[in-house]
């Protein structure tokens, strides 16, 4: 039986301290898919000489987006945690531009959900980073 758990994922993101600190805004959340935007901000800069956002902020964005995709998947559980997340950085983000993360939970087993994700700064065809990962699932109905 499939269950819509999108409200659980949305509430979870809204209360995460790091999501608020990084300014993350959930834009899309549907069955197994999520999109979160992180606006450009001075406190996120990793290299003051170039103004490029720190990779750690992008990692946190992608991890949060992937977790939201898992939590909203109709066959996943109500809770999740990252087991493994591989992020490949393709290029530096453009200074001054927001970062958009998109994630899809494409396969769910009894205990593990699998995701793929991308992050871009307005140029979807040339991502800033891509990711694949595995997440635990708990409370599966």
Cβ proximity of 113 and 73 under 8 Å: yes
Residue 6 binned pLDDT confidence (cut-offs 50, 70, 90): low
d(CA 28, CA 75): 18
Give the model's pLDDT for residue 1: 45
Bridge partners (DSSP) listed for residue 114:
107, 134
pLDDT at 53 over 60: yes
Tokens of 5: 């758990």
Phi, psi of 47 (to 5 degrees): -125, 100
CATH code, 6-138: 3.10.129.10
The model's pTM is 0.90
Separation of CA 103 from chain center = 6
Once rounded to an integer, what is the mean pLDDT over residues 52-56?
Answer: 94
Residue owning tokens 């406190």: 43
SS3 state at 13: helix
> Which three-class secondary structure state does DSSP give residue 30?
strand
The three-class DSSP label of residue 20 is: helix
Q: Average pLDDT for residues 6-19, to the nearest whole number?
A: 74
CA distance 59 to 131: 9
Structure-block tokens of residue 90? 């393709």
Task: Kindly state the percentage of the chain with pLDDT values over 90.
Answer: 75
Secondary structure element (H or E) that encloses residue 78, with its range = none
pLDDT tens digit sequence for 78-99: 788 999 999 999 999 999 999 9
pLDDT value at residue 5: 57
Q: Where are the domains of the chain?
A: 6-138
Whole-number average pLDDT of the chain: 90
């Amino acid at each position: 039986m499939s269950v819509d758990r999108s409200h659980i994922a949305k509430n979870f993101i809204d209360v995460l301290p790091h999501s608020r600190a990084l300014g993350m805004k959930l834009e899309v959340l549907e069955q197994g898919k999520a999109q979160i935007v992180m606006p450009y901000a001075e406190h996120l800069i990793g290299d003051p000489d170039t103004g490029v956002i720190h990779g750690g902020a992008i990692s946190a964005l992608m991890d949060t987006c992937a977790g939201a995709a898992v939590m909203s998947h109709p066959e996943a559980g109500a809770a999740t945690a990252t087991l493994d997340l591989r992020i490949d950085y393709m290029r530096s983000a453009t200074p001054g531009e927001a970062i958009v993360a998109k994630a899809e939970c494409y396969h769910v087993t009894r205990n593990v959900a699998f995701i793929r994700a991308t992050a871009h700064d307005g140029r979807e065809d040339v991502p800033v980073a891509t990711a694949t990962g595995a997440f635990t699932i708990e409370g599966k109905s």
